[in-house]
Structure 1
Amino acid sequence: MEDSKLARINELYKKSQNEGLTAEEKKEQADLRSEYIKAVRNNLRGTLNNISLLNPDGTVTELSKKNKQ
């Protein structure tokens, strides 16, 4: 996610705490937050797909393959 979008999320949050948001700003904030959550989930999914497990018998199983079984 772009730094400018993160800055806008923070800006809208601060404004909501101080003076409140208009309906249009609330929608923008909700859209930006959902985009941020989607990006975090994709990042986490990508990280988890690169993890390998070492089994007690010494074999290595990729986590992504283990989840599909």
Structure 2
Amino acid sequence: MEQSKINRINELSKKSKSVGLTPAEKEEQQILRNEYIKNFRNNLKSTLDTIVVVDEQGKKKPLKEKQIIPTDKN
């Protein structure tokens, strides 16, 4: 993500704490935050995709995505 967008996120955050945001600024803030989170997740996934686990026998295995199994909690 471009530094200018990160700076804008910070500006909007400071403004929201001091004087508040207009509806247009709130929308802009949400769009920028979503873009930031999307980029963060993609970067994290890329990093995790390069990790290799070595077992006791010395075999190298790439990390696999964990499948989430839904549970019935009432």
TM-score, normalized by the shorter chain, greater than 0.5:
yes
The residue that corresponds to 2:17 in the other structure is 17
Point out where structure 2 has 5 or more consecutive residues left out of the alignment: 67-74
The residue that corresponds to 1:58 in the other structure is 58
Point out where structure 1 has 5 or more consecutive residues left out of the alignment: none
What is the percentage of aligned positions where both structures have the same residue?
Answer: 55
Q: Distance in 1 between matches of 2:39 and 2:14?
A: 22
Q: CA deviation at 1:62?
A: 1.4
Structure 2 counterpart SS, 1:61: strand
Alignment of 1:5-44 (within 5 A): 5-44=5-44
User: In the comparison of the two structures, how many residue pairs are matched?
Assistant: 66
Normalised TM-score (structure 1): 0.91
Structure 1 counterpart SS, 2:4: helix
Normalised TM-score (structure 2): 0.85
